[in-house]
């Protein structure tokens, strides 16, 4: 059998697996956007059955043989096919020593941890989550122990899983640089910053107005309407089932219109990535293999770098006034820009502004590094969380529900949080390069975002799923990740905004 | 192996098959209510893969052996289990001689016929549909030829498939009785009926008002909100994934508010049936085995017998006025009742009123009886359709799009249409019995529909899936289907309404 014939056999298995993957994805989507309360239990059971079938398809002897043989000898495969084999082999090597029994135990541990986290957050009682949390950390370490390839520490392995090549050494330097400039900048703002008017931010806007504006923004970003749906859900997310079926969800609050503008732009950024990977990636099962930081880079690019720019606010201001009647009649364009960018230390990551956001991530990074590597126990987390919020953000955490229980992530994964901060830094570096070729803010001021989408499609989306993060950012910008672009951007923007 | 052990093995297969059945159902629901245009093709392919797996599960040698052995000897099975075996064996016997190749050809023929029908209706060109239609009739006859058990004619077999025990002899008598009294009644209305005011029926109502009213009606019917969702779609339908996940869809038109009231009540009736079968039926895979006529009986019961009654209109009138502001300020309760019941021969079945509806069905019955049995060719259908509309309803059909191409049914099934008329007749007969125990319209006038739901649950829903239609209606009312109840009801109602 030639390598191309082997790849064809592998592709056939992956085709079948994709059917199950998409079906499970749609059942999940259905649970979040359609199904009634009483339907959840049955839906969960159905997903479990389909998942078992999916697991079988990608854990057969044939599958393992094809993947490992092609990884050892990929002559005759296209570059994209080689990358697919590399990714599948990586995943196979990481999981191959996990027995079906352990895999099943871990699945149960995840479900339990998620349920306990929900309960604990609702009851504001960390002790409810504690044991399931500790178990999950234990399973994470056990699964890493079973790998043939070893990393320096457990948390290094976690980081590498989410961001190939990532390590504590890299991220200590990265977050150190962030802390060094953001903390003093924030202190200067609090001490010397000019006051910013925000009284109008929570004025109620009817939801149909907000919905109309969301649709307008998604169109502006350059999303193909025939391959897009916009729906509502409790916790907004974006997902896709191939490039022709991309789904943005949002949550409208009558009194939170302005915030919804940026949620929509953010989710729309994810959607653009999903609609614009090369068709070949989908055909060969290479698509959707970008890192989370790459995805977050694009969503935050549209939310912050474009969306919260003075140029873009200038463009949408008349449309916003047109759609909202007299609601914002007394608000100037400049006031809207300033209010959309106000920097205000707070308790909740999801509500954080562009400047303080990375400090929320920093706190999570420092904590998960410590508890995954066994330097602290789960019992120490709440107090340490609160101390760090006081130290970096100057806020007092009143309870664990708005403290260390606020995010879902630790009920399932460790090493994910840094993606958000890395994404912001990638974005600023890419913007710097893009500006050499495009008048980015001139375009934003005209609402002409299509050249920006097309530039990203050509330089960013076209290689993400077949590159490591470092290969990717070097191919786009000519250098490895350099946090200076992001920090310079923040310093310039917020110094001007607050007249420092 | 004991029979109970055999049934346990069968149940296990049916459990697995149900997972695929529900998943396919949700993917279909997703296509109709969520997915974007470009996502349809992929979704169709995914459904085909899951369907193949479902087919495999219920066509294995083990499955066939369990079903046929238990059908031959069901000692030790519960009555419900016996019925399950009977249904599964019936289906098995009907399909067992259809080869995988023929089955695949038929699947393709169905898809093609549906696509051609859509195209033909859009283009108002029957010739586009003609060949695919003829092919489908051919396949229907071929599949019936392959059955061991023979019926008098092909169409008798079709009728028996949809309504166990149904036959041309039974339905000729049934439709003959309908024609004999409805046609002259309609003529009297047209000649001597008092005029009915309908000018307000198409006054625009904002969709949020309509949505609020739909939710109110569904609650009034006694549906459990935690096991129900209401969504919008192009062509309204109701579906379910077990009793805990029932989905009503509707389509709001600004200028068709009053009509949406009855669509909602109709779909809500289907939903009530789905929420209220015994749990045992679901556990043992007996549920959802009622005939279409039984289901249509309940939906039309709520739409017409309750919904269009003067008592119920009396109850909802103040609520309707409250929700719609001044829109209907000049309309009296009696005028609303009369307008909701106006009898007006028309072209389109879906828009037909309670009185003329059965004549639309009669026409379809006469035609499909003739073409399935080869008494007429597909080429004769358009002209015959038009002639019958002229004869029974007095209307001229201007084109095939609003003539014989209006309904989707003939692109997939023959023998289904009579269910609608049978359902109406069952409903009137059941109402007659119910009134001996409940003051039905006294309750409707108070908006207290729960005793009606509970009566149906006890007497109607509790046995439908394990009874033949004749067993069912006899158990509920003490006699076989007697069309007189329905005809008496129509004559009384419309004589009074039109002051004949």
Per-residue pLDDT of B310-366, as tens digits, reads 999 999 999 999 999 999 999 999 999 999 999 999 999 998 999 999 999 999 999
Quote the minimal CA–CA distance from A69 to chain B in Å: 28
Grouping H, G, I as helix, E, B as strand and the rest as coil, residue B228 is strand
Does residue A34 sit at the B interface (CB-CB below 8 Å)?
yes
Residue ranges with strand state E in A224-339: 228-232, 238-240, 246-250
pLDDT at B235: 82
- The answer to whether the Cβ–Cβ distance between A245 and B41 falls below 8 Å is no
Same domain, yes or no: A108 and A92: no
Q: A108 pLDDT band (50/70/90 cuts)?
A: confident
Flag whether pLDDT at B111 surpasses 90: no
Given the structure tokens 């955490």, which residue do they identify?
A397
- The answer to whether the Cβ–Cβ distance between B36 and A241 falls below 8 Å is no
Report the mean per-residue pLDDT for chain B. 96
Mean pLDDT, residues A396-407: 97
Mean pLDDT, residues A390-411: 96
| Contacts with B287 (C-beta within 8 Å, 6 or more apart), sequence order | B242, B243, B277, B281, B465
Quote the minimal CA–CA distance from A383 to chain B in Å: 39
Domain boundary (A150, A182, A216) is at: A150
Looking at beta carbons, which residues of chain A come within 8 Å of B230?
none
ipTM of the predicted structure? 0.90
Q: Which two tokens stand for residue B92?
A: 């098995």
| Sheet of A228-232, strands arranged across | A228-232, A246-250, A238-240
C-alpha to C-alpha distances, A388 to A129, A355, A395, nearest whole angstrom: 21, 17, 9
Same domain, yes or no: B440 and B317: yes
Flag whether pLDDT at B36 surpasses 90: yes
Q: A388 pLDDT band (50/70/90 cuts)?
A: very high
Does residue A224 sit at the B interface (CB-CB below 8 Å)?
yes
Flag whether pLDDT at A97 surpasses 90: yes
Flag whether pLDDT at B234 surpasses 90: no
Contact A65, B253 (CB under 8 A): no
DSSP state of B180: H
Beta bridge partners of B229: B247
C-alpha to C-alpha distances, A416 to A68, A240, A296, A309, nearest whole angstrom: 28, 20, 11, 27
Residue A250, phi then psi, degrees to nearest 5: -145, 175
Which residue, B227, B232, B211, B228, is CA-closest to B33? B232
Mean pLDDT, residues A428-456: 98
Flag whether pLDDT at A258 surpasses 90: no
Flag whether pLDDT at B458 surpasses 90: yes
Looking at beta carbons, which residues of chain B come within 8 Å of A45?
19
- The answer to whether the Cβ–Cβ distance between A26 and B22 falls below 8 Å is no
Residue B27: which of A23, A242, A246 has the nearest Cβ? A23
Q: Find the catalytic residue in A221, A267, A277, A303.
A: A267
DSSP state of A235: S
d(CA A70, CA A92): 13
Same domain, yes or no: B351 and B315: yes
pLDDT top residue among B108 and A338? A338
Size of interface A-B (CB pairs under 8 A): 100
Q: Which two tokens stand for residue B31?
A: 């296509």
d(CA B39, CA A243): 9
Chain B, 163-222: which have a CB under 8 Å from a chain A CB?
A: none
Q: A402 pLDDT band (50/70/90 cuts)?
A: very high
- The answer to whether the Cβ–Cβ distance between B42 and A33 falls below 8 Å is no
Residue A38: which of B23, B231, B244 has the nearest Cβ? B244
Same domain, yes or no: B121 and B183: no
Give the model confidence (pLDDT) of A58-76 as tens digits: 999 999 999 999 999 999 9
Mean pLDDT, residues A430-456: 98
pLDDT at A357: 97
d(CA A475, CA A470): 8
Does residue B34 sit at the A interface (CB-CB below 8 Å)?
yes
- The answer to whether the Cβ–Cβ distance between A27 and B29 falls below 8 Å is no
Does residue A413 sit at the B interface (CB-CB below 8 Å)?
no
Domain boundary (A87, A117, A150) is at: A150
CATH of the domain at A459: 1.10.1370.30
Give the model confidence (pLDDT) of A153-197 as tens digits: 999 999 999 999 999 999 999 999 999 999 999 999 999 999 999
pLDDT at B13: 97
Q: Which two tokens stand for residue B435?
A: 């009134």
Looking at beta carbons, which residues of chain B come within 8 Å of A50?
19, 23
Same domain, yes or no: B376 and B250: yes
Quote the minimal CA–CA distance from A260 to chain B in Å: 21
d(CA B221, CA B257): 19
d(CA B27, CA B97): 30
Grouping H, G, I as helix, E, B as strand and the rest as coil, residue B242 is coil
Same domain, yes or no: B55 and B115: no
Which residue, B118, B67, B120, is CA-closest to B93? B67
Same domain, yes or no: A160 and A141: no
Q: A236 pLDDT band (50/70/90 cuts)?
A: confident
> Active site includes A267?
yes
- The answer to whether the Cβ–Cβ distance between B46 and A23 falls below 8 Å is yes
Contact A110, A132 (CB under 8 A): no
Q: B233 pLDDT band (50/70/90 cuts)?
A: confident
Same domain, yes or no: B210 and B288: yes
Looking at beta carbons, which residues of chain A come within 8 Å of B241?
39, 42-43
Looking at beta carbons, which residues of chain B come within 8 Å of A26?
26-27, 30
| Sheet of B246-250, strands arranged across | B228-232, B246-250, B238-240
Same domain, yes or no: B361 and B466: yes
C-alpha to C-alpha distances, B221 to A2, B120, B245, B301, B323, nearest whole angstrom: 65, 39, 17, 11, 18
Does residue B26 sit at the A interface (CB-CB below 8 Å)?
yes
Residue ranges with strand state E in A207-334: 228-232, 238-240, 246-250
- The answer to whether the Cβ–Cβ distance between A245 and B36 falls below 8 Å is yes
Give the model confidence (pLDDT) of A321-331 as tens digits: 999 999 999 99
Quote the minimal CA–CA distance from B440 to chain A in Å: 30
Q: Find the catalytic residue in B86, B267, B284, B335.
A: B267
Q: Which two tokens stand for residue B268?
A: 């809500």
Q: Element (H or E) spanning B238, and its range?
A: strand B238-240
Q: Which two tokens stand for residue B482?
A: 């007697």
Quote the minimal CA–CA distance from B393 to chain A in Å: 42
Domain boundary (B94, B110, B126) is at: B94
Between strands B246-250 and B238-240, the pairing is antiparallel
Q: A371 pLDDT band (50/70/90 cuts)?
A: very high
Looking at beta carbons, which residues of chain B come within 8 Å of A43?
241, 245
d(CA A94, CA A270): 28
Q: Which two tokens stand for residue B256?
A: 């068709």
Query: Closest chain B residue to A46 measured between Cα atoms?
Result: B19
pLDDT at B489: 98
Same domain, yes or no: B291 and B306: yes
Does residue B229 sit at the A interface (CB-CB below 8 Å)?
yes
Looking at beta carbons, which residues of chain B come within 8 Å of A37?
226-227
Which residue, A423, A452, A419, A215, is CA-closest to A299? A423
Q: What's the structural domain count of chain A?
A: 3
Residue A135, phi then psi, degrees to nearest 5: -60, -45
pLDDT at B37: 92
Flag whether pLDDT at A241 surpasses 90: yes
- The answer to whether the Cβ–Cβ distance between A244 and B30 falls below 8 Å is no
Looking at beta carbons, which residues of chain A come within 8 Å of B36?
225-229, 244-247
Mean pLDDT, residues A268-294: 97
pLDDT at B101: 87
pLDDT at A227: 97
- The answer to whether the Cβ–Cβ distance between A38 and B241 falls below 8 Å is no
Same domain, yes or no: A270 and A350: yes
| Contacts with B134 (C-beta within 8 Å, 6 or more apart), sequence order | B377, B378
Residue A26: which of B16, B30, B245 has the nearest Cβ? B30
Does residue A27 sit at the B interface (CB-CB below 8 Å)?
yes
Residue A226: which of B30, B33, B37 has the nearest Cβ? B37
Question: What DSSP string runs through B403-427?
Answer: TTTS-SGGGT-SS-THHHHHHHHHH
For A347-374, b/e burial (b = at least 16 CB within 10 A) is bebeebbbbbbbbbbbbbbbbbbbbbbe
A11-25, A38-52, B217-231, B417-431: the lowest-pLDDT one: A38-52
Q: B186 pLDDT band (50/70/90 cuts)?
A: very high
Flag whether pLDDT at A148 surpasses 90: yes
pLDDT at B259: 84
Chain B, 231-270: which have a CB under 8 Å from a chain A CB?
A: 231, 241-242, 244-247
Does residue A322 sit at the B interface (CB-CB below 8 Å)?
no
Mean pLDDT, residues A41-68: 93
Grouping H, G, I as helix, E, B as strand and the rest as coil, residue A478 is coil
Does residue A48 sit at the B interface (CB-CB below 8 Å)?
no
- The answer to whether the Cβ–Cβ distance between A244 and B39 falls below 8 Å is yes
Does residue A148 sit at the B interface (CB-CB below 8 Å)?
no
Does residue A22 sit at the B interface (CB-CB below 8 Å)?
yes
Given 3-state DSSP classes, what are the helix, strand and coil percentages for chain B, each rounded to the nearest 5? 70, 5, 30
Residue B238, phi then psi, degrees to nearest 5: -130, 140
Query: Closest chain A residue to B243 measured between Cα atoms?
Result: A39
- Domain enclosing residue B316, as ranges: 155-500
Q: Which of A26, A215, A225 should one mutate to test binding to chain B, selecting the residue with the greatest count of B CBs within 10 A?
A: A26
| Contacts with B422 (C-beta within 8 Å, 6 or more apart), sequence order | B163, B174, B293, B296, B297, B469, B481
Measure CA B270 to chain center. Answer: 9
- Count CB-CB contacts under 10 A for residue B92: 16
d(CA B46, CA B43): 5
Mean pLDDT, residues B372-378: 98
Mean pLDDT, residues B136-161: 97
Report the mean per-residue pLDDT for chain A. 96
Looking at beta carbons, which residues of chain A come within 8 Å of B227?
36-39
Query: Closest chain B residue to A229 measured between Cα atoms?
Result: B36
Flag whether pLDDT at A103 surpasses 90: no
Q: Element (H or E) spanning A198, and its range?
A: none
Flag whether pLDDT at A107 surpasses 90: no
Flag whether pLDDT at B104 surpasses 90: no
Same domain, yes or no: A201 and A122: no
Looking at beta carbons, which residues of chain A come within 8 Å of B225?
36
Given the structure tokens 């009369």, which residue do they identify?
B338
């Amino acid at each position: 059998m030639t390598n191309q014939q082997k790849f064809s056999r592998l592709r056939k298995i992956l085709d079948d697996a994709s059917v199950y993957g998409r079906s499970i994805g749609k059942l999940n989507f259905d649970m979040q956007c359609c199904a009634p309360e009483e339907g959840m239990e049955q839906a969960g059971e159905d997903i479990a059955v389909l998942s078992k079938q999916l697991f079988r398809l990608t854990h057969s002897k044939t599958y393992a043989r094809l993947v490992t043989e092609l990884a050892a000898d990929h002559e005759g495969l296209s570059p994209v096919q080689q990358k697919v084999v590399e990714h599948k082999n990586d995943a196979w090597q990481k999981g191959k020593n996990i027995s079906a029994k352990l895999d099943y135990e871990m699945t149960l541990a995840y479900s339990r941890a998620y349920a306990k986290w929900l309960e604990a957050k609702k009851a504001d009682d960390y002790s409810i989550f504690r044991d399931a949390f500790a178990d999950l950390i234990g399973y994470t370490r056990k699964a890493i122990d079973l790998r043939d390839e070893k990393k320096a520490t457990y948390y290094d392995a976690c980081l590498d899983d989410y961001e190939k090549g990532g390590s504590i050494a890299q991220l200590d330097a990265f977050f150190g640089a962030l802390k060094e400039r953001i903390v003093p900048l924030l202190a200067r703002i609090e001490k010397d910053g000019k006051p910013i008017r925000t009284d109008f931010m929570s004025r109620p806007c009817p939801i149909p107005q907000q919905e109309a504006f969301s649709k307008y923004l998604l169109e502006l970003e350059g999303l193909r309407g025939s391959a897009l749906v916009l729906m509502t859900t409790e916790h907004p997310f974006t997902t896709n089932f191939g490039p022709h079926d991309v789904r943005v969800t949002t949550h409208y609050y009558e009194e939170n219109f302005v915030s919804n503008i940026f949620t929509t732009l953010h989710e729309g950024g994810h959607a653009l990535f999903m609609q614009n990977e090369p068709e070949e990636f989908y055909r060969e099962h290479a698509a959707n293999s970008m890192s989370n930081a790459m995805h977050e880079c694009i969503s935050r690019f549209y939310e912050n770098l474009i969306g919260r720019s003075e140029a873009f606010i200038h463009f949408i201001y008349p449309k916003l006034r047109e759609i909202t009647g007299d609601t914002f009649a007394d608000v100037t364009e400049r006031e809207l820009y300033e209010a959309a960018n106000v920097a205000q230390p707070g308790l909740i990551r999801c509500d954080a502004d562009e400047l303080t956001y990375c400090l929320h991530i920093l706190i999570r990074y420092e904590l998960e590094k410590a508890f995954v590597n066994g330097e602290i126990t789960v019992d120490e987390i709440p107090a340490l969380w609160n101390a760090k919020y006081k130290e970096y953000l100057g806020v007092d955490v009143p309870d664990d529900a708005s403290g260390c229980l606020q995010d879902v992530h630790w009920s399932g994964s460790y090493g994910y949080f840094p993606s958000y901060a890395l994404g912001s830094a990638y974005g600023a570096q890419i913007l710097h390069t893009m500006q050499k070729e495009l008048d980015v803010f001139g375009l934003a001021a005209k609402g002409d975002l299509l050249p920006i989408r097309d530039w990203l499609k050509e330089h960013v989306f076209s290689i993400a799923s077949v590159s490591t993060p470092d290969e990717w950012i070097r191919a786009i910008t000519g250098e490895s990740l350099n946090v200076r672009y992001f920090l310079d951007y923040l310093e310039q923007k917020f110094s001007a905004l607050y007249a420092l």
